Amino acid sequence: MKGKVLFANRFNETDATAEAWMADSEEHSDSPSGQPILASGVWKVFGKRVADAMAMARDKVDQSEILAKSGCVVAVQDATFEVNWGEIFVVMGLSGSGKSTLIRCLSRLVDATAGRIVINGQDLGEMPELELRELRRHTISMVFQNYGLFPHRRVIDNVAFGLEVRGATREDRYQKAEEMIELVGLDGWATNYPEQLSGGMKQRVGLARALAVDPEILLFDEPFSALDPLIRRDMQDELLGLQERLKCTMVFITHDFSEALKLGDRIAIMRSGAIVQVGTPEEIVAHPADDYVRDFTIDVPRHKVLSAGTVMAPFSPDMVLEGEPVAVSARLEAILPRLLTEGRPVPVVDERGRRCGVLEPAVVSRYLWRQ
């Protein structure tokens, strides 16, 4: 139940965030330091003949052909996006689409071949070793797909690792680690070793370890894909709860579209290294950029994602409408029963109560069952 509530909350906020972002990016178009993460034209090519491979990729040459001709793998091509303060930015794509490489570029675990990544106003590519280390010690943290726990350290020493390498005293780091272990609900497991824990518990340790350094930015590399479906749902809910409290910026990688919809304030969809579409879950479901993206949206329960504002037809003053109006932000889920029983158009009003559109059953059904 808790999950559902959060689910709905997410989407109400989404519109506001998206608008704020639009306004923001217009305002700060000349000073892009407004966002915690800015990536422009990022490329990552594995192999030696980088220039050839990039040229071919620009000409839309197929990945396997590029590999055959130049021996290079273009993992990320020309990725440009921004991540806003406090949002969950999901990068979604199938395996091999370059999403894991992209997230590694954001922390320079992998050096980008071309392009610029700016973290908190600092250019990541030009950052000297020492500053990069400081950035990782204080600003960015990461959670890994297979947990990345240190098998030779107890849970508490795993969680305290980040504090240990930046030189915190034993007392301080254990105190903080205890807090984090409690935060993720693992009280009493502090002195166990990772192999004594279940998958879900291991990932809680991974999460606690990442949170222990009080990061501003959290990177998640498919953190829940190794977990059972039920545990995965718990962890997703927990993550949303944590984000509510901590308000840090998160970049979340997944191959699961429904996970992307559930967690993402905005979603970037990747296909063979390139970002195909960036948008709110609703934008993507309502207006998929191409057939590739549409394929993902087919199984989505649209009435839970789409809102009145997206599917309404324009309002013209000569229309005569009866009945109680619904809000722009209302989910179709809530309106559908009425629409189906009454069988006539329903007016839509904006935040100030002005009529701004109308829900036509025919138009709505086209949105809901469009293939």
Partner 1 sequence: MTSLTVRSAGWRRPIAYLGGAVLLLGGLIVLLPEGIGAFPPEWDVGLGPAVNEVQQWWISNRRDLGVYLYFFDPLSDSIDWLLRAFENLLLAIPWYVHAAGVGLAFGRWLGTPGGVAAGAGMLYFVALGLWEQSVQTFSLMTVAVALAVAIGVPVGILAARSDWVFRGLRPVLDSMQTLPAFVYLIPVLLFFGVARVPSLIATVIYALPPVIRLTNLGIRQVPTESLEAGLMFGSTSGQLLRKVQLPQAVPSILAGVNQTIMMALSIVVIAAMIGAGGLGQEVLLALRHQEVGRAVEAGMAIVLMAVMLDRFSHSLVGQGRMGGAARTQGLQYRNWWVAGGALAAMAIAGWTLGWTDYPTALQFSYAAPIDGAVDWARDNLYQLGNLPVGTGPFSDFLTTYGTRPMRLYLSEEAWPVVVLFFGFVAWWASGKKLLLGSVVGTVVIGLLGMWTLTMDTLSQTVVAVLMAIVIGLPLGVAASRRDWLERGMRPVLDTLQTIPSFCFLVPVVILFNVGRIPGIIASVLYAIPPVIRLTNLGIRSVDSEIVEASESFGVTRRQKLWKIQLPLAMPTVLAGINQTVMLVLAMVVIAGLVGGAGLGLEAVKGLARSDTGLGFEAGASIVILAMILDRITQGWAARFQPPSSDRG
Binding site for partner 1 (CB under 8 A): 104, 107, 109, 133-138, 140-142, 144-154, 161-162, 164-166, 193, 195-196, 209, 213, 219
Least Cβ distance, residue 240 to partner 1 (angstroms):
23
d(CA 203, CA 233): 13
Q: Which is nearer to partner 1, 168 or 326 (CB)?
A: 168
Q: Tell which residue, 229, 250, 208, 201, has the closest CA to residue 10.
A: 250
Q: Which is nearer to partner 1, 33 or 191 (CB)?
A: 191
C-alpha 226, offset from chain centre: 18
d(CA 124, CA 117): 6
Least Cβ distance, residue 169 to partner 1 (angstroms):
16
Least Cβ distance, residue 325 to partner 1 (angstroms):
50
Q: Which is nearer to partner 1, 55 or 165 (CB)?
A: 165
3-class DSSP string for 177-245? HHHHHHHCCCCCCCCCCHHHCCHHHHHHHHHHHHHCCCCCEEEEECCCCCCCHHHHHHHHHHHHHHHHH
Least Cβ distance, residue 27 to partner 1 (angstroms):
32
Q: Which is nearer to partner 1, 24 or 164 (CB)?
A: 164
Q: How many CB atoms lie within 10 A of CB 216?
A: 17
Q: Which is nearer to partner 1, 254 or 307 (CB)?
A: 254
Residue 96: both structure tokens together: 């091999």
d(CA 2, CA 237): 8
Q: How many CB atoms lie within 10 A of CB 204?
A: 25
Least Cβ distance, residue 146 to partner 1 (angstroms):
5
Least Cβ distance, residue 192 to partner 1 (angstroms):
8
Q: Which is nearer to partner 1, 25 or 146 (CB)?
A: 146
